[in-house]
Amino acid sequence: MIQEADIGVGISGVEGMQAVMASDFSIAQFRFLERLLVVHGHWCYKRIAQMICYFFYKNIAFGLTLFYFEAYTGFSGQSVYDDWYMLLFNVILTSLPVISLGVFEQDVSSEVCLQFPALYQQGPKNLFFDWYRILGWMANGMYSSLVIFFLNINIFYNQGFRISGQTADMAAVGTTMFTSIIWAVNMQIALTMSHFTWIQHAFVWGSVATWYLFLLGYGMSSPLISGNAYQILIEALAPAPIYWASTLLVTAACNMPYLAHISYQRSVNPLDHHVIQEIKYYKKDLEDKHMWTRERSKARQETKIGFTARVDAKIRQLKGKLQKKYSATSVQQSSSPAS
């Protein structure tokens, strides 16, 4: 039974350890099942769904800029980014924020999850990992890639980059573009998170700081190592106001649609956890005890998801039996001699 289930939960007891050894999760007492499902089940579903969707977003936003540059330069084979930039993007510069999202994210606290068990139904209803959500994140990544590439290209095109009037070379444009990507994807994950601790702050903003520290150290290394990026931050980018203005403008333009989307959703069509977050934020649960009790009672009403699933399974079983019976009858009729 455990092996046939989507997720097997074993309870260690007097029956032995066979069920525990064959299960995905093991609990010591049956009363722990409520917290395993209602709290950790809800959290894990939201964390994994958001983490995977964010992976789609950030890699599309980064990867498509390379394709745009190839098309822009007639598929010359030249990369707009330094090799070290591309190597560190997924390994160091954007890895820790994703880990913090997948490990520490909590839309509501564990106490609220137990008080509002209806939040668990967001998982069976697949509200955060359906095709609408996945395609939306992919479209967001495509939009960000277009903004990052074409806005930076147009800003630096034939513009005086330094005080002496020199225009930016490919190394300066590529580094500015990569800086915009680092800021855009880290700001995006900051907007996605609902629960912040010092760990999330350290991972998200530390990743941005790590990029500048790397750029500083990489530029100070020997020209044999840094190549065109030699002293690029100290001598070229940092003294240029257009570099900082471009980074700020591109980052804001990339995240503005998502900010507008979540603001509209919370105001017009909020989900259950949005309502609970607002109640807790404005402390309405303390000011209006009757309202809080009423909402909790609504969250504990029986749902029809389990009943509907059983009915659908029974219908599929009956259809399968009828199909087998029809197939057997057809075979008998075809094998019998014609009269």
pLDDT in tens, 21-62: 777 888 888 888 888 888 988 899 999 999 999 999 999 999
Mean pLDDT (whole number) for 268-283: 82
In degrees rounded to 5, what are phi and psi of residue 13?
-160, -155
- What residues contact residue 61 under an 8 Å CB cut-off, 6+ apart? 141, 142, 144, 145, 148, 181, 184, 185, 254
- What residues contact residue 314 under an 8 Å CB cut-off, 6+ apart? none
pLDDT of residue 292: 59
Least confident of 171-175, 242-246, 306-310, 320-324: 306-310
Least confident of 4-8, 9-13, 123-127: 4-8
* C-alpha to C-alpha distance for 219 and 216, rounded to whole angstroms: 5
Which band of pLDDT confidence, cut at 50, 70 and 90, is reported for residue 339?
very low
Q: Residue 45: enclosing H or E segment and its boundaries?
A: helix 42-72
pLDDT of residue 137: 95
Over its C-alpha atoms, the chain yields an Rg (Å, rounded) of 27
User: Taking each helix axis from N to C terminus, what angle separates 95-104 and 170-192, rounded to the nearest 10 degrees?
Assistant: 0
pLDDT of residue 285: 63
Which band of pLDDT confidence, cut at 50, 70 and 90, is reported for residue 213?
very high
* C-alpha to C-alpha distance for 215 and 219, rounded to whole angstroms: 6
How crowded is the C-beta side of 1, counted as CA atoms within 13 Å?
5
pLDDT of residue 321: 73
**Whole-number average pLDDT of the chain:** 83
Which residue matches tokens 């001699």?
A: 337
pLDDT: which is higher, 198 or 308: 198
* 203 residue type, one letter: F
- Joined together, the tokens standing for residue 35 give 């917290």
* C-alpha to C-alpha distance for 57 and 231, rounded to whole angstroms: 31
8 A C-beta contact, residue 168 and residue 155:
no
pLDDT of residue 264: 92
* C-alpha to C-alpha distance for 258 and 251, rounded to whole angstroms: 12
pLDDT: which is higher, 139 or 8: 139
pLDDT of residue 332: 64
* 224 residue type, one letter: L
pLDDT of residue 99: 92
pLDDT at residue 323 greater than cutoff 80: no
Mean pLDDT (whole number) for 262-278: 87
Mean pLDDT (whole number) for 76-96: 90
- Joined together, the tokens standing for residue 132 give 């609408």
* Distance, first Cα to last Cα, the chain: 50
pLDDT of residue 24: 80
pLDDT at residue 90 greater than cutoff 80: yes
* C-alpha to C-alpha distance for 115 and 263, rounded to whole angstroms: 26
pLDDT of residue 241: 86
* C-alpha to C-alpha distance for 316 and 331, rounded to whole angstroms: 22
Mean pLDDT (whole number) for 64-79: 89
8 A C-beta contact, residue 167 and residue 156:
yes
Encode pLDDT of 130-161 as tens digits.
899 999 999 999 999 999 999 999 888 877 76
